[in-house]
Chain A
Amino acid sequence: MPHNNNLADAIQGEHPRRTALKQMAALLGLALSAESLNVLAASSHSSMERATKLLTPEQLKMTGEIAELIIPATDTPGALAVDVQGFIDHYLMECVSKSEQQTFIAGLNKINSVAEEKFSKVFLACAHKQHIDLLTALDNGTAGFTQGDQHFFKFFKSLTLLGYYTSEPGATQELAYLAIPGGYKGDFPFAKIGKAWSLN
């Protein structure tokens, strides 16, 4: 983005509030200033390599692979495509305690050490079938994994689900996104929408 392009800068850094305001304004029949109305943009996802925050590049990759195994691509994107791993890295840096950060890293290391024992490779070097094998054991807390590891995997899953289902594709494509429901309907068959709401 050119530095001296004020509009581009405004869009890049614009508070998403403006977009929401425009939608609400239409509903309310309010007029917003031209300046406000101009500042609407699809968000521009950077395709540049991001520097990692808490995780090493290898840990980031491993996190992404595991997240993708939890929420794979189906007819909608999977975890990798929505950069769940980048979100988890950011979230671990900003929102969790030192102790939880350590638990996460230790959990990744444990997966690698069990992978080395079973398959003589680190996780990232394993085949897909071996990935399934490892995660199944981790999910159950068996075959080299403990109950503590199982607890770590629940933590990992919670981060994955948070990162995926609050992403735009997760919230709006995989699930049903309804920002302004218009009211509450208590007699509503599931078939009418066919998938779960993303906002609860």
Chain B
Amino acid sequence: MDNIYIKKTTEKFDAIVVGSGITGGWAAKELTEKGLKTLMVERGRPVEHRKDYIGEGIPPWKMHNRGKVDLQLVEDQYYIQRQNYAFNDATKHFFGNDRDLPYSTPANKPFSWIRGNQLGGKSLLWHRQSYRWSDLDFNANQVDGHGVDWPIRYKDLAPWYSYVERHAGISGAVENIPVLPDSEFLPAFEFNNVEKEMKKRIEGKFPDRKLIMGRCAHLSVPAQQHLDQGRMQCQARNECQKGCSFGAYFSTQSSTLPAALKTNNLKIATNAIVHSVIYDKATNRATGVRVIDSETMETREYYAKVIFLCASTLGTTQIMLNSTCETFPNGIANSSGVLGHYLMDHLYSVGASGRVEGYENEYYSGRRPTGPYMPRFRNVTDKQPKFLRGYSLGGGAMRESWNNFADKPGFGVDFKNAIKQAGQWNFSLSGSGEMLPRYENSVTLHPTKKDKWGMPQLHIDCEYSANDIAMREDIADTAAEILDAIGVKDIYKHNASPTEWPIGLSIHEMGTARMGRDPKTSILNAHNQAHDVPNLFVTDGACMTSSAWQNPSLTYMALTARACDYAVQQLQLGKI
């Protein structure tokens, strides 16, 4: 383990992987397992599985603010990250420091860039929801003309979905839903009894809608290979973002890094900010990366035969935009000019909730890390007049707890007893909607502003289209309509404005280095390989040509494993 972490080196690697999150971890695993001497370059600090999960397992009364974060700290260093649901005193150290990671937006177009900044990246923080795409999604751009055609289809990715699912461990149930192909599953988490009743009513009243259990990267019941990896069954604490010493959810630390380390082919450079990719015009190859040491400000280079950019959607694009030279004045592999463009996120924070009468005798035990999910039913066989594409709904039934009682009237013994008896049941449905790809939604390098390491910061310019706005309205109306139809009371509809819920806060930012068939209108080909630079690969969210409506990380994993397989083949054939 001693020489895994490196600083300066003269070693030339077979592969460099920039980033250590969801896709960086997978690239490191795949490339090392295929025999490549691989360097994983991470801008943040090391985080060791178990040992560095400093927020895990601490009871609230032992935390100095009972879990809340000092306001001064939040306002100085976490004023964007604080917006995220998972940000609290036990998880804050896994979020990027906003003071050190500045970016700009136009005044009237807020964008919330949620970041990790450590080994493992956002794989420590993600929500673990995992879904496959179908050809409804891969065909979408070609069918309605927004964006360019995906250069792949479901059949190209299906075996790779299976491959990553088996290793990662995905909990869910076989449902045979055409728009949401089944994964290789570990058992699904249970519905509670109120949800079972709601499911019956929904499916009875709306035959085109199914309420399934959300599919997630949790070891509900680990398979032998997971136990062999040292991972354990999910304990249903639902505190994943603190780090999980059971290794029960998929992260770099629990799953891909151990596999990579086993090969003895991996080295890691941490506190190493990639400034740019080094390009050699004579050979038309990326030859390495320039790095700034985040602690000492020293610069150094690392060299390799193939480069994988997995630095997160905007992190990767920032590096590419900053990698300029005579051949690529507008950023490496950007002869098309589309680098930075077609930024997307998912439409979130819109839906409805209400009260379910009765069921005082029903409860549940454990804090389930997933919940009921309604796959897309809009624009599947129907044709909506007001918007293209579609969305899923997700939510579930829960009983109110002590933190819901502040808004209720009363105080004293009766009030205390009411809290003890648990509150009413609530049922909610919230949307995850597809955002159309638009050229104008883009990121560029700020012409003058740089961060403390001298990297030009990003300027992010993104807003909803008419389609996005119309879809949001339908999500809210439809969620409310469903709740009303099944007898939910006191229905509250919500549809957050872009000020209340800035684009980016869904943390599914993707696009800006898209895949496509035509080098004139895309950065990457069907193998995530840069059209312009054959040994440069991009497999994180930046590669996405459209956003679909599903949580994207499983698709990123599959694309990464597939691209690694192709890259290694190409290397062996002497083609790159």
Binding site for B on A (CB under 8 A): 15-17, 20-21, 23-24, 28, 43, 69-72, 74, 87, 90-91, 94-97, 132, 135, 139-140, 154-155, 157-158, 161-163, 165-168, 171, 174-175, 177-193, 195-200
For the complex, is B134 an interface residue (Cβ under 8 Å from A)? no
Q: Which residues of B contact A139 (CB under 8 A)?
A: 409-411
Contact indicator B59/A154 (Cβ below 8 Å): no
Closest to A16 in B: B62
Contact indicator A196/B361 (Cβ below 8 Å): no
Known contacts A20-B56, A183-B235, A185-B190: does B363 contact A192 (CB below 8 Å)? Answer: yes
Which of B236, B246, B407 lies in contact with A154, CB distance below 8 A?
A: B407
A188 to B364, CA, bound (A): 5
Closest to A20 in B: B57
Nearest CB in chain A: distance from B240 CB, A:
13
Closest to A165 in B: B402
Closest to B213 in A: A186
A193 to B421, CA, bound (A): 10
Q: Which residues of B contact A69 (CB under 8 A)?
A: 411-412
Q: Which residues of A contact B419 (CB under 8 A)?
A: 161, 165, 175, 196
For the complex, is B489 an interface residue (Cβ under 8 Å from A)? no
Besides A174-B416, A181-B236, A193-B363, 16 other A-B contacts (C-beta < 8 A):
A17-B57, A17-B58, A24-B245, A72-B416, A74-B413, A96-B71, A140-B409, A155-B406, A161-B406, A175-B402, A175-B419, A181-B367, A184-B190, A185-B365, A185-B366, A186-B196
Contact indicator B195/A94 (Cβ below 8 Å): no
Encode contact with A along B404-427: 1 for CB under 8 Å, 0 otherwise.
011101111101110111110000
Nearest CB in chain A: distance from B150 CB, A:
36
Closest to A160 in B: B406
For the complex, is B299 an interface residue (Cβ under 8 Å from A)? no
Which of A94, A140, A161 lies in contact with B71, CB distance below 8 A?
A: A94
A190 to B363, CA, bound (A): 5
Contact indicator A154/B420 (Cβ below 8 Å): no
B interface secondary structure, majority: loop
Contact indicator B59/A171 (Cβ below 8 Å): yes
Contact indicator B361/A184 (Cβ below 8 Å): no
**Within residues 234 to 258 of chain B, which ones have a CB less than 8 A from any CB in chain A?**
234-237, 245-246
For the complex, is B399 an interface residue (Cβ under 8 Å from A)? yes
List of 3 A-B pairs having minimum Cβ-Cβ separation, nearest first: A20-B57, A186-B190, A181-B366
Contact indicator B71/A97 (Cβ below 8 Å): yes
Which of B71, B191, B399, B415 lies in contact with A95, CB distance below 8 A?
A: B71
A200 to B400, CA, bound (A): 9
Nearest CB in chain B: distance from A106 CB, A:
18
Contact indicator A171/B61 (Cβ below 8 Å): yes
A192 to B362, CA, bound (A): 10
For the complex, is B357 an interface residue (Cβ under 8 Å from A)? no
Contact indicator A183/B362 (Cβ below 8 Å): no
Q: Which residues of B contact A177 (CB under 8 A)?
A: 59
Contact indicator A190/B71 (Cβ below 8 Å): no
Contact indicator A161/B61 (Cβ below 8 Å): no
Q: Which residues of A contact B407 (CB under 8 A)?
A: 154
Known contacts A17-B57, A139-B411: does B366 contact A91 (CB below 8 Å)? Answer: no
Q: Which residues of B contact A158 (CB under 8 A)?
A: 403, 406
Q: Which residues of B contact A70 (CB under 8 A)?
A: 411-412, 415
For the complex, is B65 an interface residue (Cβ under 8 Å from A)? yes
Q: Which residues of A contact B62 (CB under 8 A)?
A: 16, 43
Contact indicator B406/A16 (Cβ below 8 Å): no
Binding site for A on B (CB under 8 A): 54, 56-72, 189-193, 195-196, 220, 232-237, 245-246, 360-368, 398-399, 401-403, 405-407, 409-413, 415-417, 419-423
Nearest CB in chain B: distance from A195 CB, A:
5
Which of B237, B368, B399, B409 lies in contact with A180, CB distance below 8 A?
A: B237
Q: Which residues of B contact A71 (CB under 8 A)?
A: 415-416
A188 to B59, CA, bound (A): 24
A71 to B193, CA, bound (A): 31
Contact indicator A193/B401 (Cβ below 8 Å): no
Which of A20, A87, A185, A188 lies in contact with B66, CB distance below 8 A?
A: A87
A142 to B478, CA, bound (A): 39
Q: Which residues of A contact B402 (CB under 8 A)?
A: 161, 165, 175, 196, 198
In the assembled complex, 8 residue pairs joining A and B whose CB atoms fall closer than 8 Å, in A order, are A17-B56, A157-B411, A171-B61, A184-B189, A187-B193, A188-B192, A195-B420, A199-B367
Contact indicator A94/B70 (Cβ below 8 Å): yes
Contact indicator A166/B57 (Cβ below 8 Å): no
Among B70, B363, B422, the most chain A Cβ lie within 10 Å of the Cβ of B363
Contact indicator A182/B411 (Cβ below 8 Å): no
Known contacts A72-B412, A87-B66, A94-B71: does B365 contact A184 (CB below 8 Å)? Answer: yes
Nearest CB in chain A: distance from B55 CB, A:
8
Q: Which residues of A contact B401 (CB under 8 A)?
A: 196-197, 200
Which of B56, B236, B398, B403 lies in contact with A182, CB distance below 8 A?
A: B236
Known contacts A87-B66, A95-B71, A139-B411: does B236 contact A195 (CB below 8 Å)? Answer: no
Nearest CB in chain A: distance from B428 CB, A:
15
Q: Which residues of A contact B64 (CB under 8 A)?
A: 90, 94
A199 to B412, CA, bound (A): 22
Closest to B60 in A: A166
Contact indicator A189/B365 (Cβ below 8 Å): no
Contact indicator A186/B192 (Cβ below 8 Å): yes
Nearest CB in chain B: distance from A108 CB, A:
16
Contact indicator B403/A157 (Cβ below 8 Å): no
Nearest CB in chain B: distance from A50 CB, A:
14
A63 to B509, CA, bound (A): 45
A182 to B221, CA, bound (A): 11
Q: Which residues of A contact B361 (CB under 8 A)?
A: 189-191
Q: Which residues of B contact A196 (CB under 8 A)?
A: 399, 401-402, 419-423
Q: Which residues of B contact A185 (CB under 8 A)?
A: 190, 364-366
Contact indicator B68/A91 (Cβ below 8 Å): yes
Among A132, A161, A167, the most chain B Cβ lie within 10 Å of the Cβ of A161
Nearest CB in chain B: distance from A186 CB, A:
3
Contact indicator A200/B367 (Cβ below 8 Å): yes
Q: Which residues of B contact A175 (CB under 8 A)?
A: 402, 419-420
Nearest CB in chain B: distance from A103 CB, A:
15
Q: Which residues of A contact B422 (CB under 8 A)?
A: 190, 195-197
Nearest CB in chain B: distance from A42 CB, A:
11
Closest to A198 in B: B402
A187 to B359, CA, bound (A): 12
Nearest CB in chain B: distance from A79 CB, A:
10
